[in-house]
Amino acid sequence: MARTIGSDGEKTEAAIREAAVSLIARYGYEAVSMRQLAAEVGVQAAALYRYFPTKEDLLFTLMREHMEGLIASWENARPDDGGAADELSAFVANHIGFHVTRRHSTHVSNMELRSLSHENLTYILKLRAGYEKDLRRILRDGAEDGSFRIGDAALTAMAIIQMITGVIVWFRPDERLSVEEVTRNYLTMTMRLVGASETVEGGRRKEYVHANAEFRAG
């Protein structure tokens, strides 16, 4: 046999990506063979090489698109005006929302960096550095105008990112907490962590969830 009835390059490529993200997230890049991936797609191993020149190139594509998606999501969610607290709220809410809806590719992007070639690793780390730099800027802005009380902006940025990325390690949808509740909790913790000044309004403590800090997917 050769070309199969109804076969379509675009559909096959999408199926490969989907199966690859799922398998690599579950078993790890090194543990997943091209034959195993092909079997999941319902195709022979040789067919994969029509779409990705090497196994590593496939991994790189998955990670690059994850990072580009994250950055695009943040650029879309970033508030045009408002103070540092608003920006930080939007950052945290977008980060959590993006990652909980992409558990598999997040796992891949966080765990498989060491399987990339030096060149591809550099590219991914550059994307990541730019994203993290934005968070540091928000923290410094807030520290300067008195919104936050922060010891070290770089250290605080890493602490926040690790805390909010870690959601996907334990959080499972369909459990006792919804995404919205989890996001609200993390927003509160983040705001306290940076020493954001709390204001009391009408006797009720004002927590840090504003309209534009709500979770927005996509």
Partner DNA sequence: GAATAAATTGAACGTTCGTTTTATTATTTC
Partner DNA sequence: GAAATAATAAAACGAACGTTCAATTTATTC
Site of interaction with a second copy (CB under 8 A): 26-28, 30-31, 111, 114-115, 151-152, 155-156, 158-163, 165-166, 169-170, 177, 182, 184-186, 188-189, 192-195
**Minimum CB distance to a second copy smaller for 70 or for 191:** 191
Q: Which stretch binds DNA (CB under 7 A): 7-15, 125-133, 159-167, 188-196?
A: 7-15
**Minimum CB distance to DNA smaller for 63 or for 135:** 63
- 34 is a contact residue toward DNA (CB under 7 A): yes
CB of 111 to a second copy, least distance (A): 6
CB of 5 to a second copy, least distance (A): 37
**Minimum CB distance to a second copy smaller for 11 or for 133:** 133
Q: Could you say which of 14, 18, 27, 35 contacts DNA (CB under 7 A)?
A: 35
Q: Could you say which of 14, 18, 26, 53 contacts DNA (CB under 7 A)?
A: 53
Q: How far apart are CA 122 and CA 89, in angstroms?
A: 29
**Count of other CB atoms within 10 angstroms of residue 78:** 16
Q: Could you say which of 28, 40, 56, 79 contacts DNA (CB under 7 A)?
A: 56
- 54 is a contact residue toward DNA (CB under 7 A): yes
Give how far the C-alpha of residue 167 lies from the chain's centroid of Cα atoms, to the nearest Å. Answer: 10
162 binds, among DNA, a second copy, none (CB under 5 to 8 A by kind): a second copy
**Residue-wise DSSP of the chain:** --SPTT--HHHHHHHHHHHHHHHHHHH-TTT--HHHHHHHHTS-HHHHTTT-SSHHHHHHHHHHHHHHHHHHHHHHHS-SSS-HHHHHHHHHHHHHHHHHTTHHHHHHHHH-GGGS-HHHHHHHHHHHHHHHHHHHHHHHHHHHTTS---S-HHHHHHHHHHHHHTHHHH--TTSSS-HHHHHHHHHHHHHHHTTPPP-EETTEEP-S--GGGS----
CB of 128 to DNA, least distance (A): 25
Q: Could you say which of 22, 28, 45, 65 contacts DNA (CB under 7 A)?
A: 45
Q: How far apart are CA 208 and CA 191, in angstroms?
A: 7
CB of 168 to DNA, least distance (A): 25
